[in-house]
A = this chain, B = another copy of it.
Amino acid sequence: MQAALSQFVEDAKQVTVGESIRTQHGRDMGYYTPESPDVVVFAHSKEEVSRILKFANEERIPVIPCGVLTSLEGHVIPINGGISLDLTHMNQVLEVRPRDFLVRVQPGVTRTQLNRALKPYGLQFPLDPGADATLGGMAATNASGTTAVRYGVMRSQVLDLEVVLANGSTIHTGGLSVKSSAGYNLTGLFIGSEGTLGVITELVLRVYAIPESTVAARAIFPGLSEASDAAYNIMNSGISMGRIELVDEYTIDAVNRAKGTSYTTQPTLFLEFHGSEAAVQADVAVTKEVCEEAGAADFVFETQEDARNLLWDARHDAALAVIQTAPQKKMKVTDVCVPLSELPQAIRAARETIDAYGIYGAILGHVGDGNYHVIFMVNPEDAEEMRVAEEVNHRIVQYALERGGTCTGEHGVGIGKIPYLAQEHEDTLPWMKSIKQMFDPNGILNPGKLFTQQE
C-alpha cells in the first residue's frame, strides 16, 4: 500500500509506515485503546487528498482524516487500521479579507497560528476549545469552548468548506456572504460530521474585531451551589458575557499544584467582558453585584493584558493541570450540556454522583451555555477504575438526556458517545446513517465513529 500511495503525493516521504509515526497517530488525548494505522500520509494539497481518497475508495481502505490529534472521544483512532490522513502540513492562511471579516485557511492551520496572522489587522478568531487544535478538526467536531457563549460554536463561524468526498470529487458547500437561503445547508451538515462524510481541505471563517476593551475577573464562592447560581444569574441579567467559566475546588487545587500558584481553593467563576470601554465597565459593575448577592467572598478583576492572561491561564490550562495530578493515567472527560436553568442543580448532582462513587473528579464548564465537564484520571488497564468512571459518566449523560440536554456539547461522538447518540437521536439515527451511506457508500471514511460499524 505504501508504494501505491506514494504515487499520489509529491514526495514519497509524505507516506510513512515508521513505527513511531504510526503509534503517534493511533491515539488522541482521551483514554481509548490505541490502534495504529497501517500507514500515515501527510497530504500537501487537495489534489493529493483527492487521489488518495479515490484509491482508498476503490480498494475499500479506511481513511481517518486528522489534525493535531487533540480529540477526546477517540475520533482519530484507526480502529480498523488503514490510512491516517494527516492534514497538518496543509497549514497555510490562504487569504485574510479584513474588510469582509473573513479568512480562507487550510485545515491544518491551528487557532493560535490563525490568531497570530490576524493580529496585525486588529482581528481575532475567538473560538478556543482549550487545545491548540486545527481549524479543520474544530470544524469536524463542531468545537466551541470558552467564548462560544459570545460568538457561537464552530458551525456559526464557517461560511464555506471545500470538501473532498469519498469518491475523490471536490465540492464547495457555501460562499463568502454572511448569510444565504440558497438550498440545503451542506456546510452545516459537514461541520460536526467527524470525518465520516468527507475530508475538509479548505475553510472560509468569520473573524472579529478585537474588542476595544477586555476585562477579566475571578469571583470566588464558598461552594459549588453558590457559584453555579451566580453563573445562572449573570446570564439571566442580560449581560453579553465574553466568557463565563466555572472551575471547582478540585480543579483549582490541581492548577495550584501544576503551576505553583496560590489561588483560593474554592469554586471560582472565571469571567471575561468584551466591548467598548463604557459597556465593559457597566457590565463588570453589574456582574460584581450579582456575584456578591450570590455569596461571592471575593471578586478580582484585571484590565491589563498580561494580568488578564495570567488569570485566564489558570482556567485555560485547567485540564492539563488535572492531567498532571496523575501523570501515569489517562484523561476521561464527560461533556454534557443542559438547558440553562437546569445548570445549578445539574452541577450539584454531578458532584453528588462523583462523591457517591468515591472517585476523584474535577468539575469545570462553559456554564453560560449549560455545558460542563467532569475530568477523571483513569488507568485504562484497571478494569474496576474504568468501570466506575464509565458508570459516573453514564449517570451524568443520562441526567442531561432526561432534561432535554445533549450527550456531547462540544467534543463530539467519536467512539465514546456512540450508544448515547443512538439514545439521544433515536428517531433521526436511521436518517443519519442514510446520509452517511449516500456520501460514503463504501464506508471508508473514519469507519466505526458516530455509529457502530455498518456491516
Contact = CB atoms under 8 A, between A and B. Distances in A.
A338 interface: yes
A339 interface: yes
Interface stretch (A54-62, A108-116, A177-185, A349-357): A177-185
A261 interface: no
Interface stretch (A19-27, A35-43, A399-407): A399-407
A278 interface: yes
A326 interface: no
Given A141-B181, A438-B435, A428 B176 contact: no
A218 interface: no
Given A176-B404, A209-B238, A371-B179, A184 B337 contact: no
Contacts of A211: 238
B177 A184 contact: no
B148 A179 contact: yes
Interface string A274-296: 01111101110010000000000
B279 A177 contact: no
A296 to B, nearest CB: 21
A404 B155 contact: no
Interface string A383-406: 000000000000000001001111
B408 A181 contact: yes
Q: Count this chain's copies in the assembly.
A: 2
Nearest to A148: B179
Interface residues of A, number: 90
A63 interface: no
Nearest to A286: B276
B97 A339 contact: yes
A173 B282 contact: no
Interface string A166-178: 0001111101111
Nearest to A282: B278
Interface stretch (A6-14, A242-250, A302-310, A411-419): A411-419
B427 A339 contact: no
Given A341-B97, A371-B179, A432 B186 contact: yes
A173 B432 CA distance: 11
A156 interface: yes
Interface stretch (A44-52, A98-106, A263-271): A98-106
A183 B102 contact: no
A191 interface: yes
Interface string A81-107: 000000000000000010111100000
Given A97-B341, A240-B240, 19 more contacts: A102-B339, A152-B152, A172-B427, A175-B404, A179-B371, A179-B406, A179-B410, A180-B406, A180-B409, A182-B407, A183-B192, A183-B429, A184-B189, A184-B193, A184-B197, A185-B189, A189-B189, A211-B238, A240-B275
7 contacts: A171-B428, A177-B371, A178-B370, A179-B409, A180-B408, A189-B189, A209-B238
